[in-house]
Structure 1
Amino acid sequence: MINKKNNIYNIMLIIFKIFKKMPLLMFITFTIPFIGGVITFFTYTTQVEIINIIVSNSGEESWKVILSKVVHPLIIFTSIFAIQAISQALTNIFKNAMNTKVTLFFKSEIVDLMNKVDYEKFDDKEFCDKLERAKSVVGEHLVGIMQNLVSSISIFSSLLSIIWLAATSRYFIIVIVVVGMMVISLWLKLSTEVKVRKVGRELTFQGRMGDYLSNTLEDSNTIRELKIYNASNYFLDLWGGIITKQHRKRYDARRDEIRIGMIVTLVQTIAIFLVLLMLLNRINSSIEVTIGTISVLFMAMLSSGYKIMSLTWPLSKLYISSTKLYDLNEILKLKESLKEVKNLEEKKKDSLLPIEINSVNFKYISSNKNIINDLNLKIQKGEKIAIVGENGAGKSTLVKLILGQYKASNGEVLWNGKNKISSKPAVVFQNFIKFQLTLRENIALGNIEEYHNDEKIIETLKKCDLYDLYQELGGLDVTLGRLKDGGRQLSGGQWQKLAIARAVFKDADLLVFDEPTSAIDPNAELEIFNKLMKICKDKTGVFISHRFGWAKNADRIIVMDRGEIIEMGSHEELIQLKGNYYNMYNLQSSWYR
């Protein structure tokens, strides 16, 4: 089990997954900034050489002679700067490439999990919350984590170059001082930064509440109602209390940050001053101590103080961000635990029919109440079934059981005698998707292998009463919706017909229509259902609706109420029965006149 508080473990797991996916790219992305920082050592050594040459020859040699002596170290110095500039550019290039691939990789992993996990998992609030938190990490947040890693590596490697310089110059006291400064400064600053960021995270909800109250106080419709009840001052006091509380918490956190910052600066200043005194004291007692060495080491010490302070920024962000990686790791762990599901499209498309539902009960994970109660039903090949009932009768849940998206809590669902669905039917859900894509894509998504089959697409448009739209648009590759400038917006009915056309284009043996005409008026609905009946002439069709007027054309009508089948038969049989169907049909029949 992953420990949520073990931030380093969370980071390492993600890094390992990235390295496993793209080892070469990750190695290059992290190695280049590391090398770019470490070679700063050679800029220091060339600076020492240049300063010593100038100091030792000034007053004795002409500037031309001095310049000729420093040409070689100057060339090395400028070459290193050029290499570092190139390494910085390369780092940015590879970092951006890795960011894109990392985002795509984890996004694909989450989408893959969502396709593999049982559909009923999406009714589990805990799973959905965890999934949302994991999705929120992927993208800009995860990119920020990778950028902070790269920045930390770059700064840390440049600090190593200072330690390397001091060690090779045999100033081990400087090594100890720099390492000590790093440890103390990072510990103090990181603890403060983490505290500030935690406060910021704790204030997130209060911030949203403050924004809501602020916007409420500025909304004209809200003000109109608040004036009637004389409640404006109450809202103002609520908003003022939240803002004051936020300010106090942030001030307390920042006050600690300033105090710690002063302590860190003081520690660094004293350390640098003592090292400088030590160097100056040794300048006359050792031939190894030169002006160049002292100058460069002193400047390096000053630089190290700045670099250590700079290092706290990405590291603190990395620490805070890593807590969010827990949920991403948990989701990825769940994905790995799932058995590999073979691509159903690549398998032989066995017939799903007949479909048998035997003594099935169903309830959602978070509920103790059955939505489906002891339901028995058999759907034969080529049959046209109408499932009707009021909203909440259990019709849509029954559809999900037929589609294999839900598993029965008790009883069994068999597809052609098997307890596992072996191919995919075509479906039009009530909450159909309005794809802001081209007309071609909106249809071809039903069977992407036929994407370029214009003849079949146009024939499908004709079947679904969309040929006029095709002629109006002037082609199949015109973008629909408002996402793209110049895109054609459609009516609700046109979008719904597109969803139907997408299902028809799939050319499946079983077509399921769950409230497919809810956005269409009753008269147009009747016409569309008559067309759907013709489309399903040689197929099995299951039609779900809370409207009864069109159902008389079905081979069999199933009337549901509170998760149970209360009536079943043809239109004539149910009318003669004079039960629930009879009453609802007569009540709604005026809609279709």
Structure 2
Amino acid sequence: MENFWKFISYSIKSTILMFRFEPWRMLLKSLFAFLYGVSWTLQIVLLQTFFDSAQRVSENTENISNCLVILLGMILIYCIGQILQGVDTCYSEILYIKTKKHINLRLFKKIDTMSSLSFEDIDELEKINKAINGGNFAFGASVILIDTIFFYSTYFILTSGYLYTLSPLLSVSVLAIFIPCFISNIIETKGFKNLEETSTPMRRECEYYESCIIDTRETRILGATHYFNQLYFSSLKKLNMLVLKAQLKKNLIRLIVGVITILGYGVILFMLVKLVLKQEITVGAFSAVLASISMVFTFMSDIISERIGWAAETMGTVDNYISFIFEDKKSDSKIYQDTRNIKLQDVSFKYPCSEKEVLKNINLSLTDNKTIAIVGENGSGKSTLAKILLGLYPPTRGQILVNDISMCDIDSRNYSAVFQKFCKYQMTLKENICIADISKNIDYDEVHNICNQIGITLSSDKLVNGLDTFIGREFDGIELSGGQWQRIAIARGIYREYDFIILDEPTSAIDPLEEFNLYNTFSKLCTEKTAIIITHRLGLAKIADAIIVMKEGNIVEMGTHSELISKDGEYKHLFDTQSKWYF
């Protein structure tokens, strides 16, 4: 019962959401459903009226013209009902497209409020995956509730009232037959809720192996396609077995319910025959009741076996979507501050689902208008420290203060960054750069100046339309080299209004000579700015005012290039090791 009430709860929440998204269209959908339900009840009443009239015509007690008028009315109501059904079906398809846009937008807005650290947490990623899947069924859940209330309920209430006027026992018997159907769907709802919970990790596993197979370049070179095929089909087999077991259980329950329903139908037919023989109802009423009970069974089967059956299968997914978008998250008001002074006090950090600390008791003070280089071996914690400084990850322990205010309360809109793993936005060059600050009116002279400084030649043969050239293969734009894409990412980071910027290996795809020129450009651009440069190439760190050396999550050294070389410590060891490759 608990799952059933959850199903009702989430169906109502889903329907409320749809009404918020498209209020007038949803009202019109409800009106179509209501009128369609009324049309079916009118057909039953007119059917009895027609048969009774036909009987009186056969007995020469009524004019045939009255019978023909009733027949025409019955045909008219039937045609109106069919038109309403067609309009409702077509309109539902249009409404789905309209609401799907809002469903996705609401989902994306919720994801946008999540901390960056959430995307490092497997549980959070699964929650997002489930919510995305559930969003595909949210509209369907609301349509089922609307049809149940406005079409099926209208029809059942009016038809039950009609049957009650003939014999109270008839209306009660019809309703009693569907109690087993009701119970069976409660069981199905619970079963498919459990299926959704257990199948989500397997579905993600299948999607991952599929992506490995599709990424044919490296997979084919390694000769690993067959291996990933085996992993994919193994995971798919496990997933299909789970679904098969759930479907077998569902169909067994439905078979039992179907047998009970047929027996109940026979009992009602027996009761009707007795009422006719006792002359308690007319032959017209018998025909109308027989037709109405047939339709009641058809509609009951539709709503319970098909509509609610579908809802039972998808309730778990809709549940995940509704729970996700309504999940309470702490909403904090942020303070806008110029970044003049940043202090890290005993900052430690470890990733979700990991016991190892990536950063350990970091104490650091960054003053305004300084360029700091962070160096160290792979895995020393450089990039993680950068994300901590940007406020993307909250410290596990310790605190970060910006102008003596906790970073948790700071609005980071005056921060900028260029990461080694940057985005290749499939849009025009202008949009690729200006997306960094969409609230700012585009200054074309500024954009041209940044492109010239970073080495993006707008007059080149590739960029035939200059800033309006569409780049990226996804939508038939031009494809660029890795170095060209990286220059665009750098231009994007510089275009944004900032007083604090982090450059995390921003030139890894650019040749050494051009890299040196770019770092000199950074040095000039970062005048009167606070800049953090993360690099593996220690020779380039010389441009920094200070160099921080990291090892195994600790800051082991700090100073200028000449100071660190004279210490004969970790920095000198790294510098000498790299120098051997050049001399």
Residue 426 of structure 1: how far off its partner (Å): 0.9
The amino acid of 1:33's aligned partner reads A
Q: Which residue of 2 aligns with 1:422?
A: 411
Q: Which residue of 1 aligns with 2:557?
A: 567
The amino acid of 2:309's aligned partner reads S
Q: Which residue of 2 aligns with 1:36?
A: 36
TM-aligned CA distance change 1:95 to 1:177, over 3 Å: farther
The amino acid of 1:307's aligned partner reads F
* 2-structure distance, mates of 1:307, 1:445: 53
Helix, strand or coil: the match of 2:538?
A: coil
* Superposed counterparts of 1:541-580, under 5 Å: 541-580=531-570
* 1-structure distance, mates of 2:198, 2:497: 53
* 1-structure distance, mates of 2:4, 2:51: 53
Q: Which residue of 2 aligns with 1:483?
A: 474
- Answer whether contact 2:276 2:283 (CA < 8 A) is retained: no
Q: Which residue of 2 aligns with 1:136?
A: 133
Q: Which residue of 1 aligns with 2:287?
A: 295
Q: Which residue of 1 aligns with 2:272?
A: 276
* 1-structure distance, mates of 2:240, 2:398: 59
Q: Which residue of 1 aligns with 2:177?
A: 181
TM-aligned CA distance change 1:239 to 1:541, over 3 Å: closer
* 1-structure distance, mates of 2:241, 2:316: 25
* 1-structure distance, mates of 2:25, 2:246: 40
TM-score, L = length of structure 2: 0.83
The amino acid of 2:285's aligned partner reads T
- Answer whether contact 2:12 2:145 (CA < 8 A) is retained: no
TM-aligned CA distance change 1:572 to 1:133, over 3 Å: same
* 2-structure distance, mates of 1:571, 1:195: 65
One of 68, 71, 80 as aligned partner of 1:70 = 68
Aligned pair 1:320/2:313, yes or no? yes
Residue 178 of structure 1: how far off its partner (Å): 1.7
Q: Percent identity?
A: 25
Aligned pair 1:466/2:456, yes or no? yes
The amino acid of 2:123's aligned partner reads E
Query: 582-591 or 395-404: which moved more?
Result: 582-591
Q: Which residue of 2 aligns with 1:56?
A: 56
Q: Which residue of 1 aligns with 2:259?
A: 263
- Answer whether contact 1:188 1:264 (CA < 8 A) is retained: no
Residue 80 of structure 1: how far off its partner (Å): 6.3
One of 382, 386, 390 as aligned partner of 1:399 = 386
* Superposed counterparts of 1:370-519, under 5 Å: 370-420=357-407, 421-424=410-413, 425-450=415-440, 452-468=442-458, 472-484=463-475, 486-519=476-509
The amino acid of 1:311's aligned partner reads I
- Answer whether contact 2:42 2:77 (CA < 8 A) is retained: no
- Answer whether contact 2:343 2:401 (CA < 8 A) is retained: yes
TM-aligned CA distance change 1:385 to 1:199, over 3 Å: closer
Aligned pair 1:525/2:515, yes or no? yes
Provide, for residues 525-549 of structure 1, a one-character-per-residue CA deviation record: whole Å limited to 9, x for no partner: 2232222222223422211122212
TM-aligned CA distance change 1:90 to 1:477, over 3 Å: farther
* 2-structure distance, mates of 1:165, 1:4: 30
The amino acid of 1:45's aligned partner reads V
Residue 411 of structure 1: how far off its partner (Å): 3.4
TM-aligned CA distance change 1:280 to 1:202, over 3 Å: farther
Helix, strand or coil: the match of 2:291?
A: helix
Q: How many positions carry a matched residue from both structures?
A: 568
Query: 248-257 or 499-508: which moved more?
Result: 248-257
Helix, strand or coil: the match of 1:135?
A: helix
One of 300, 303, 308 as aligned partner of 1:308 = 300
Residue 338 of structure 1: how far off its partner (Å): 1.5
Helix, strand or coil: the match of 2:473?
A: coil
Unaligned runs of 5+ in 2: none
TM-aligned CA distance change 1:198 to 1:388, over 3 Å: closer
Q: Which residue of 2 aligns with 1:148?
A: 144
* 2-structure distance, mates of 1:18, 1:276: 43
Query: 129-138 or 325-334: which moved more?
Result: 325-334
- Answer whether contact 2:39 2:77 (CA < 8 A) is retained: no
Deviant stretches of 4+, over 6 Å: 2-5, 196-213, 219-222, 224-227, 237-248, 590-593
Unaligned runs of 5+ in 1: none
* Superposed counterparts of 1:159-308, under 5 Å: 159-167=156-164, 169-188=165-184, 191=187, 249=245, 253=249, 256-257=252-253, 259-260=255-256, 262-282=258-278, 285-286=279-280, 289-308=281-300
The amino acid of 1:455's aligned partner reads D
* 1-structure distance, mates of 2:428, 2:325: 34
Helix, strand or coil: the match of 2:490?
A: helix
Helix, strand or coil: the match of 1:549?
A: helix
- Answer whether contact 1:429 1:516 (CA < 8 A) is retained: yes
Provide, for residues 227-285 of structure 1, a one-character-per-residue CA deviation record: whole Å limited to 9, x for no partner: 9x9xx9x99x9899979977984795377257425513522431342133134214xx3
TM-score, L = length of structure 1: 0.82
